[in-house]
């Protein structure tokens, strides 16, 4: 809606002399490029095309490199057998647990660190120390502690989500303009109101970026953990398929991972940012036309 | 009734690197009556904004006192709303959300505060923009909203920190006329900081002219211009030109002294 009205005013306001309508192919392209399905899927057309071409020309032996057609067949097959939905549900459940705890801990710890100088002084060196220990490096000891369990995977995901998120919250709080805090105070806001009305929304652009980064890391950690801890899940499926030499499931796993992340972004993260930080003019949207 | 009393205000900063003491405000005393428009004018860097920040409660004075409506200032409070140079509107709140912010903090009910908010929006000429966000407004409109946001809470004194300094000249003239109209209609107490002599003379009942750093009150100039005021009538008024010339002279003298002091 908003985009449409902006288009109209721009055309009306430009005051260009009337001229012959644009050629048919240009108008078709214009209409196509406004279609959201085309905007979402369009960029993948050449990628899939190239993939298909490489597979069809048999640049690599078909046992190592398969085309999109085989992946679709494999997808239907695993769907029919119920293997894929089961593994998918396992992976998503682990991610949900890990991300849920990770977000809660990361945001609370982040605000504590940002708002209290004492907490920050105490936590900062520890934060930097643990940031250097990669998530996967925890797996050996985590397996010793928790076994090949959901807890072990959750631990690793929480660990990966918490640190980037804490850093994002701290830098977000630091970016809140001091004048806005003063304005709120001089309009009668107490410290608690300033926190909820100014600090939290002011830090949101940075927090949104932190959530995106954190979940992205968490998603990768999940797959890595499943490969190593592996009893089920997408990562397990891929690694297990490699063991028996079934490349098609490896390819399928990669495609599924990409699509899932894209959906998470398109269905949850992007709409949230559109309704908040982009609406407030704090950051520019990816799909803004101007 | 006096709304604001400043007595022997002094402010000294300690330079964080050199440890030197820098005197920002030497000795400033003056008062503002209820319903009076008083400007503070001085050369740049003379500490006039520091005076305002002290009244707002953002900065603690080294010595001296500031009292508003009989109460000594010890921190920021809703009796001293501030209009900032860079408007400081909340980007995540709509125009209406910004204007009712102070009323919400007071605990006023939704219906009542929204009615009051709309009243003040129409006073500053922003009716119809209630659902917009600040980034969708022009610079002039943002500053109008900044004024409405403070006036809606009916503060004992409205503090304005060079509010029109970053706005283009033409819009600035309109805003000054509108501010004068609002002042004449509502008679709030206004404490206005500026470095623009014409602006100070056009808007004020009295002008506190500060000397260069460390600042002290050089002279308090009464502005004898009939209200209602418009720019068209003010520029032709002999009183306006005479006052501008007088204030200009005061500032030029101060500058000459300042240079002499530098040479020594």
Q: Which tens digits make up the pLDDT trace of A187-225? A: 999 999 999 999 999 999 999 989 988 888 888 888 888
pLDDT at B159 over 90: yes
pLDDT for residue A285: 62
CA distance linking residue A79 with residue A91, whole number of Å: 16
Cβ distance B82 to A184 less than 8 Å, yes or no, reads: no
- Enter the ipTM: 0.91
A176, A185, A188, A204, best to mutate vs chain B, most B CBs in 10 Å: A188
Task: Tell me which CATH code domain B2-81+155-263 carries.
Answer: 3.40.50.300
More confident residue, B96 or A138: B96
Read off the pLDDT of residues B200-230 as tens digits, 9 standing for 90 and up.
999 999 999 998 777 889 999 999 899 899 9
What 3-state DSSP class applies to B67?
A: strand
Confidence of residue A265 (pLDDT cuts 50, 70, 90): confident
Chain B positions touching chain A (beta carbons under 8 Å): 56-58, 75-78, 80-82, 84, 86, 88-92, 101-102, 105-106, 133-136, 149-150, 153, 159
Mean pLDDT in chain B? 91
Nearest to A182 among B58, B90, B106 (CB): B58
Q: At residue B12, does pLDDT exceed 80?
A: yes
**Beta strands per DSSP E along chain A:** none
Q: Mark yes or no for CB contact A280/B91 under 8 Å.
A: yes
The two structure tokens encoding residue A12: 């009306």
Query: How much is the pLDDT for A4?
Result: 42
Interface test with A, best of B90, B138, B146 (most A CBs within 10 A): B90
* Residue contact A188–B153, C-beta within 8 A: yes
Domains and CATH numbers, chain A: 22-52 (no CATH), 68-275 (1.10.3720.10)
pLDDT band at B257 (very low <50, low <70, confident <90, very high): low
Q: Which of B82, B92, B135 sits opposite A183 (nearest CB)?
A: B82
Per-residue pLDDT band at B247 (split at 50, 70, 90): very high
Mean pLDDT along residues A78-100: 88
User: What is the count of residue pairs from A and B with beta carbons less than 8 Å apart?
Assistant: 70
Quick check: A65 pLDDT over 90? no
User: What mean pLDDT is predicted for residues B112-138?
Assistant: 95
- Is residue B76 a contact partner of residue B57, using CB atoms and an 8 Å limit? yes
Confidence of residue A14 (pLDDT cuts 50, 70, 90): very low
| Residue A234 confidence (pLDDT) | 87
Residues from chain A that touch B137, judged by Cβ atoms under 8 A, are none
A280: contact with B, CB 8 A cutoff: yes
Q: Where in chain B is the domain with CATH 3.40.50.300?
A: 2-81+155-263
pLDDT computed for residue A197 by the predictor: 95
Q: What is the mean pLDDT of residues A245-254?
A: 86
Distance between CA atoms of residues B131 and B133, nearest Å: 7
pLDDT, tens digit (0-9, with 9 covering 90-100), for A29-52: 877 777 777 777 778 888 888 988
- Chain B partners within 8 Å of A280 (Cβ): 91-92, 133, 135
Minimum mean pLDDT range among A118-122, B52-56, B166-170:
A118-122
* Chain B partners within 8 Å of A202 (Cβ): 92
Region A153-182: mean pLDDT is 91
Asked if A207 and A152 touch (Cβ cutoff 8 Å), the reply is: no
The mean-pLDDT minimum among A9-18, B217-226, B231-240 falls in A9-18
CA distance A140 to A134: 12
Is residue A15 over pLDDT 50?
no
Chain B neighbors of A204, CB-CB under 8 A? 92
What are B191's strand-pairing partners?
B38, B159
Contact: A201, B90; criterion CB under 8 Å = yes
Higher pLDDT, A146 or B159: B159
pLDDT bin (cut points 50, 70, 90) of residue A5 is very low
Q: Given CB atoms, is A185 within the 8 Å cutoff of chain B? A: yes
Q: Which residue has the tokens 């009306």?
A: A12
Residue A96 distance to chain B (closest CA, Å) = 29
Q: Does A282 touch chain B (CB under 8 A)?
A: yes
Q: For residue B71, report the phi and psi dihedrals to the nearest 5 degrees.
A: -100, 135
Of chain A, the percentage scoring pLDDT greater than 70 comes to 90
Note whether A275 contacts B: Cβ–Cβ < 8 A: no
Closest among B209, B194, B124, B197 to B164, alpha carbons compared: B194
Q: Do B92 and A204 touch (CB under 8 A)?
A: yes
B81, A189: Cβ pair inside 8 Å?
no
A278 CA: distance to closest CA in chain B (Å): 10
State yes or no: pLDDT of A118 exceeds 80.
yes
Q: Which residues contact A275 (CB under 8 A, 6 or more apart)?
A: none
% of chain A at pLDDT higher than 90: 20
Task: Identify the top-confidence range among A14-23, A154-163, A268-277, B78-87.
Answer: B78-87
For residue B122, the surrounding DSSP H or E stretch is helix B110-123
CB neighbours of residue B68 within 10 Å: 24
Contact A156, A169 (CB under 8 A): no
Mean pLDDT of chain A: 83
């Amino acid at each position: 809606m908003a985009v449409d009205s902006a288009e109209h005013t721009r055309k009306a306001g430009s005051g260009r002399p009337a001229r012959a309508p644009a050629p048919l192919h240009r108008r078709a392209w214009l209409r196509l490029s406004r279609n959201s399905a085309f905007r979402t899927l369009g960029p993948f057309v050449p990628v899939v095309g190239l993939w298909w071409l490489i597979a069809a020309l048999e640049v690599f032996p078909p046992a190592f490199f398969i085309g999109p057609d085989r992946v679709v067949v494999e997808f239907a097959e695993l769907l029919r057998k119920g293997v894929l939905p089961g593994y998918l549900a396992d992976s998503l459940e682990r991610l949900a647990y890990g991300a849920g705890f990770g977000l809660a801990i990361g945001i609370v710890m982040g605000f504590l660190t940002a708002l209290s100088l004492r907490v920050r002084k105490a936590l900062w060196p520890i934060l930097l120390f643990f940031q250097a220990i990669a998530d996967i490096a925890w797996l050996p000891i985590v397996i010793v502690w928790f076994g090949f369990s959901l807890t072990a995977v959750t631990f690793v995901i929480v660990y990966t989500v918490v640190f980037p998120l804490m850093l994002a919250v701290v830098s977000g709080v630091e970016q809140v303009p001091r004048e806005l805090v003063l304005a709120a105070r001089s309009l009668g806001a107490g410290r608690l109101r300033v926190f909820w009305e100014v600090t939290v929304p002011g830090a949101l652009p940075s927090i949104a970026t932190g959530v995106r980064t954190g979940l992205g890391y968490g998603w990768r950690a999940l797959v890595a953990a499943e490969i190593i801890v592996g009893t089920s899940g997408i990562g397990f499926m891929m690694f297990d398929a490699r063991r028996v030499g079934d490349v098609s499931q490896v390819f399928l796993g990669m495609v599924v991972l990409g699509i899932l992340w894209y959906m998470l972004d398109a269905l949850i993260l992007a709409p949230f940012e559109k309704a908040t930080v982009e609406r407030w003019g704090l950051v520019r949207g990816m799909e803004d036309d101007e | 009734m006096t709304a604001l009393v400043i007595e022997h205000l002094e402010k000294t900063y300690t330079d964080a690197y050199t440890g030197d003491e820098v005197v920002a405000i030497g000795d400033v005393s003056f008062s503002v009556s209820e319903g009076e428009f008083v400007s503070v004018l001085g050369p740049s860097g003379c500490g006039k904004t520091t005076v305002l920040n002290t009244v707002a409660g953002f900065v603690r004075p080294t010595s001296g006192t500031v009292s508003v409506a009989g109460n000594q200032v010890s921190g920021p409070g809703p009796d001293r709303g501030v209009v900032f140079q860079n408007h400081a509107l909340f980007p995540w709140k709509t125009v209406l959300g910004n204007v009712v912010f102070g009323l919400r903090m007071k605990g006023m009910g939704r219906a009542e505060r929204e009615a009051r908010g709309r009243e003040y929006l129409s006073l500053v000429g922003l009716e119809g923009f209630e659902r917009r966000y600040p980034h969708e407004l022009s610079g002039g409109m943002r500053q109008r909203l900044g004024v409405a946001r403070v006036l809606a809470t009916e503060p004992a004194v409205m503090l304005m920190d060079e509010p029109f300094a970053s706005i283009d000249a033409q819009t600035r003239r309109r805003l000054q006329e509108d501010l004068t109209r609002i002042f004449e209609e509502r008679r709030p107490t206004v404490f206005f900081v500026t470095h623009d002599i014409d602006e100070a003379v056009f808007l004020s009942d009295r002008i506190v002219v500060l000397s260069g750093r460390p600042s002290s009150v050089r002279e308090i100039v009464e502005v004898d211009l009939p209200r209602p005021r418009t720019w068209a009538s003010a520029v032709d008024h002999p009183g306006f030109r005479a006052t501008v010339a007088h204030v200009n002279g005061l500032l030029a003298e101060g500058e000459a002294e300042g240079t002499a002091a530098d040479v020594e």
